Amino acid sequence: MTLAPLPPQPSNLPWPTRDWPTGDLPASLDQASFQAHLDHGFSAFEETHGLVIIQGGRLIYERYGEGRGPDDTCMSWSKAKSITQALIGILVKDGLIDIHARADVEEWQAPGDPRGAITLDQLLRMSSGLEFSEVYLPDQPSDTIEMMWGTGKDDVAHYAADKPLAYPVGSYWSYSSGTTNIVARIAARAAGATGEGFHDFMKQRLFGPLGMTSPMPKFDAAGTFIGSSFCFTTPRDFARFGLLYLRDGIWEGERLLPEGWVDYARTPTPQPVDAERRYGAHWWLDLGGEGAFSANGHEGQYTVLVPDLDLVVVRHGKTSTELKTELQTWINDLVDLFRP
């Protein structure tokens, strides 16, 4: 398939490593419709904590909820999955990981264990076949809740890796936070660091080069980054992370992610026909229109990248699942306002 071209950083524009260069909203934008749309977005979806819009590498709009501002960190929830994907990319670039080799998971090494055939690529594409109940409601059976707040909380990767296969390896797509925590532990093993040591790796190789000073990743008692769910960051810093992907993994002229890694992230994975939307490799697809890709999180956390508009939209808040579809429609409509 042909992917939408990724826009380069304008040659006369500074990278936002220290401060965001600012700009104006496009002259073609219907200002009245834009403001009415934003007013609706800040009132209709319970809590909206922040909205940041970047176009052409410039900060052109930001707005925050009552009592909040640009220095306040926001929940990532599953947006952290896309950060985990970036960390794997850095290790691929270092030659420390082969995503198409069998995944380095100690629970699967016994002779004859069919899980031993699972590759890191299949984990990144949520196609391992492992059993996992991705449910967020406490009154329903939930591996997600049990892993992060119950019996699995001290070693989230082991909880997920200890699950049996529900489907043949590579045969079925099923979104799983447990899968990402396995991936995060694989990253730590490849980097040779856990806990604070792995946090240092994250800062030195990803956050620091981008000028992201606010990220607060959370680790379990085993020292594994809970890459499924927990990396508190400001909306502006989430926008920096989004711009890295919109710029094909290049920052300040240096390639941080391996060539082709962003295209890998946004190449569709085979899914059941009833999947809520298309999925790549730890990134969602098409929110914001065809060719767009996004990091999505529970309760309405979004970093949406729109290559054809050179646009990054970051939205944070606390919105119930019942309003998820309506909120995603609002984001689509917001992006459409920027289209000629």
Q: Hey, where are the domains in the chain? A: 1-73+235-252+260-340, 75-233
What is the CB-side half-sphere exposure of residue 247 using CA atoms within 13 A?
26
> Residue 208 has which token pair?
């620091």
Number of neighbouring beta carbons within 10 Å of residue 150: 12
φ, ψ of residue 47 to 5 degrees: the values are -115, 125
Q: Which residue has the higher pLDDT, 269 or 275?
A: 269
Fold equal for 1-73+235-252+260-340 and 75-233? yes
- Give the percent of the chain with pLDDT over 90: 96
Report the chain's mean pLDDT, rounded to a whole number: 97
Task: Give the CATH superfamily of 75-233.
Answer: DD-peptidase/beta-lactamase superfamily (3.40.710.10)
- Total-model pTM: 0.98
DSSP class of residue 184 equals: H
Summarised one tens digit per residue, pLDDT across range 250-265 is 999 999 999 999 999 9
User: At residue 276, does pLDDT exceed 90?
Assistant: no
State the Cα–Cα distance between residues 63 and 54, nearest whole angstrom: 12
Q: What's the pLDDT at 141?
A: 86
Query: DSSP per residue over 216-237, as a string?
Result: EE-B-TTS-B-TTT-EEB-HHH
CA-closest candidate to residue 175, choices 148, 150, 217, 143: 143
Nearest-10 crossing angle of helices 79-93, 177-191: 30
Summarised one tens digit per residue, pLDDT across range 151-164 is 999 999 999 999 99
User: Residues 6 or more apart from 281 whose CB is under 8 A from it?
Assistant: 85, 121, 124, 125, 264, 265, 267, 269
> Residue 100 has which token pair?
């198409």
Q: What's the pLDDT at 137?
A: 83
State the Cα–Cα distance between residues 68 and 230, nearest whole angstrom: 20
Q: Which residue shows structure tokens 């009592």?
A: 67
State the Cα–Cα distance between residues 291 and 284, nearest whole angstrom: 11
User: Quick check: 298 and 136 in contact, CB under 8 A?
Assistant: yes
At residue 1 the predicted structure's pLDDT band, cuts being 50, 70 and 90, is confident
At residue 316 the predicted structure's pLDDT band, cuts being 50, 70 and 90, is very high
- Give the percent of the chain with pLDDT over 70: 100
Summarised one tens digit per residue, pLDDT across range 174-191 is 999 999 999 999 999 999
**What average pLDDT does this structure show over 219-236?**
98
User: Quick check: 85 and 241 in contact, CB under 8 A?
Assistant: no
At residue 326 the predicted structure's pLDDT band, cuts being 50, 70 and 90, is very high
Fold (topology level) of 1-73+235-252+260-340: Beta-lactamase (3.40.710)
